[in-house]
Amino acid sequence: MHLDQRLVDAAIALMNKRFPKNEDSGAAALYTADGNILTSVSPDIPNGAAALCHETGAICEAYKLEQKVIASVCVYRAANSEAILILAPCGICQERLFMWGPDVEVAVADPLDASKWIAKKLSEVQPYYWCKVFADEPR
């Protein structure tokens, strides 16, 4: 199974269900190796320094279930906007996803239209990943 529109739609569906249109909103969806979709959102924490990314809950759920993550997408919509944007995983989420290796696919925004996505492997998003210097780490 690869990153596809079904996974993107799962993130969008959660975002639309969870948040009103007049709020900035986002959500994430992950595919596990067995084909399940896990979704999550970021909690609205008063102290921004303690905030978590939208992907974090689904990543933790996959880990809890001992399921390998093979693809991830994060979507965002500004308050009162119809445009849904694709967000590449931040550096911290890339680190979290690298737990399952450099072949995990992630959605990144199309450079010509941020509402469209392109699937990239983590190894393409981070060609100089720091662990590559260690011989026993995934390349």
Domain spans of the chain? 5-133
pLDDT number for residue 139: 54
CATH superfamily, with its number, for domain 5-133: Cytidine Deaminase, domain 2 (3.40.140.10)
pLDDT number for residue 44: 86
pLDDT number for residue 137: 58
pLDDT number for residue 132: 82
The closest alpha carbon to 40, from 21, 62, 20, belongs to 62
pLDDT number for residue 138: 58
Alpha helices in the chain, H assignment, sequence order:
5-18, 56-64, 91-97, 122-125
pTM of the model: 0.92
pLDDT number for residue 136: 66
Beta pairing partners, 113: 110
pLDDT number for residue 48: 85
Residue 87's contacts (CB-CB under 8 Å, 6 or more residues apart) are 26, 74, 75, 76, 109
Extended beta strands in 13-110, E state? 25-32, 37-40, 69-77, 85-87, 105-110
The pair of three-digit structure tokens given for residue 97, joined into one six-digit string = 């996803």
Residue 138's contacts (CB-CB under 8 Å, 6 or more residues apart) are 98, 101, 102, 131
Give average pLDDT by consecutive 10-residue segment, the chain, 139 residues: 94 97 96 97 90 96 98 97 96 96 97 97 93 71
The backbone region for 138, taken as left when phi is positive above 0, alpha when psi lies in -120 to 50, beta otherwise, is beta
